[in-house]
Amino acid sequence: MLKPDVVVIGSGIGGLSCAALLARYGFDVIVCESHSIPGGAAHAFERNGFKFDSGPSLYSGLSYSPSANPLRQVLDAIGSQLPCVTYDTWGCCLPEGDFDTSVGAEQFCEVLMKFRGDDAVAEWQQLQRVMEPLASAATAIPSAALRFDWGAVKTVSRFAPSLFSHVTNITKLTGPFSQIIDGVVKDPFTRNWLNMLSFLLSGLPADGTSAAEVAFMFADWYRPGVVLDYPIGGSGALVDALVQGLKRRGGQLLLGAHVEQVLVEDNRAVGVRLRDGKEIRAQRAVVSGASVWDTLKLLPEKAVPQKFRAKRQATPECDSFMHLHLGIDAQGLQSNLACHYIVVNNWEMGVTAPQNVVLISIPSILDPSLAPPGKHMIHAYTPGNEPYALWQGMDRKSQEYAQQKLLRAEVMWQALERIIPDIRSRCEVSLVGTPLTHERFLRRHRGSYGPAIKAGVGMFPGPGTPLPGLMCCGDSTFPGIGLPAAAASGMIAANTIAPVQQHLTMLQDIGCI
């Protein structure tokens, strides 16, 4: 029987970040992954020579160190390199018209001047001034310094002078971003734009997205000389960097290892039982990187108080996704294609309305290795706005399901036709993913993007649980949804398990102190 120090359930970004950092701290770690491919929602797969990203496609703060991005901090801590190609521009297809925009504060002023005029530009510049101290406050303490025990007194106190200088602004970060917008921005286009950015960050519009999350983005996207990153090799390269960091320190990754239950003895989590009946005993802790709802399914009925179970089970959820993965012939395509596009069909419907927002990624423009010569890999998706109820109970082998896939994928085809009019005739590989695909391959409750916890109403829970020996990480855990947040959650869980002195040494090694 395997008896590591820690068992981590799930090889998503949160689970891998936690496990790799624990291995760096000297713990014997085993990661149990149900799928045959690591990475969770960030895993990559290949078809006919095209290498597809299954999920995230927009990255920043990965190409340099030290970085405020917790994912870069994890990679630095475990000594893994991640070569990236950088760029700064993406395309927008909005009700007002089509245009290219860039990270950095100045170029968006040009967009506003073209579409809205002087008043909108003045409001945007004022918002920049308001957000500057909030952005500084949001990045005053690196995620790498956080832990959820009394040891935080020592690790966080190193940043106390910076923290105290931002104390008045920190209180503003706890509320929804809409409170900041309402005090500065009246122009409807700018408000729609900020609602869209909020939705892409958290799965919620500005009135549900924390000001801290947006302030962190402003700190990253609107600083001088800013660029966006794309890992060479796609999201698969990012996952591989975490896996290599885990294995380099002796950690193990078990694929096809589906966890059926968390083992509980004497009111303590002591390991996991796999679907094949094998048990893995954990000497120190079990860390679940599964969603809040899926973690509850792994626990014996009386393992945690019923009040806790009911509260976690009632966590509101974001909707799911539709995905369109395409391999196309790129011969004769326009030379000015962007790597990414945001398509919004109707502002009045709201950014969270089903099929209203479509994201398009063509990363083979930046990294030709993702597609055969003369070809492009495309990933289009509706981000967290596809209702699971439309698919619930369907047989994936039925004609009804096949027809529904065609119907619900059409909005993505139409979005692509705004950029590549003859996209359908160029197509060589076509794969459609649905909420049932998310549910099946990611072991994801109702295929959900994650918890829809509104800022000012609730908070993402920390890594601890009422069951001794059981901790959590991933997008159901503080700080929440998104790659940086998931990496931060894994880092926080690992830090909480590790001795404080080792934690401080890690902070020194990555240049935080």
**Cα–Cα distance for residue pair 121/264, rounded to 1 Å:** 59
Strands 357-361 and 50-53: unpaired
Is 70 exceeded by the pLDDT of residue 140? Answer: yes
Is 80 exceeded by the pLDDT of residue 20? Answer: yes
The pLDDT of residue 331: 95
Average pLDDT over the chain, rounded to an integer: 94
Is 80 exceeded by the pLDDT of residue 288? Answer: yes
Q: pLDDT band at residue 105, thresholds of 50, 70 and 90?
A: low
Is 80 exceeded by the pLDDT of residue 424? Answer: yes
Q: What mean pLDDT do residues 484-505 have?
A: 97
Residue ranges and CATH numbers for the domains of the chain are 6-40+236-315+452-509 (3.50.50.60)
Residues 159-209 have pLDDT tens digits of 877 777 777 777 788 889 999 999 999 999 999 999 999 998 899 999 999
First-last CA distance in the chain: 41
What percent of the chain stands above pLDDT 90?
83
Q: Select from 397, 295, 398, 385 the least CA-distant residue to 349.
A: 385
Looking at mean pLDDT, say which of 52-66, 148-162, 187-201 comes out highest. Answer: 187-201
The pLDDT of residue 335: 84
Residues 210-254 have pLDDT tens digits of 999 998 888 887 777 788 999 999 999 999 999 999 999 999 999
What's 348's DSSP letter?
A: G
The pLDDT of residue 230: 95
- CB proximity list for 506: less than 8 A, separation 6 or greater: 21, 24, 25, 77, 144, 498
Q: Give CA angle at 352 (351, 353), nearest 5°.
A: 95
Q: What mean pLDDT do residues 388-402 have?
A: 97
Q: pLDDT band at residue 369, thresholds of 50, 70 and 90?
A: very high
> Which backbone phi and psi does 465 adopt, to 5 degrees?
-135, 165
The pLDDT of residue 222: 74
**Cα–Cα distance for residue pair 136/162, rounded to 1 Å:** 9
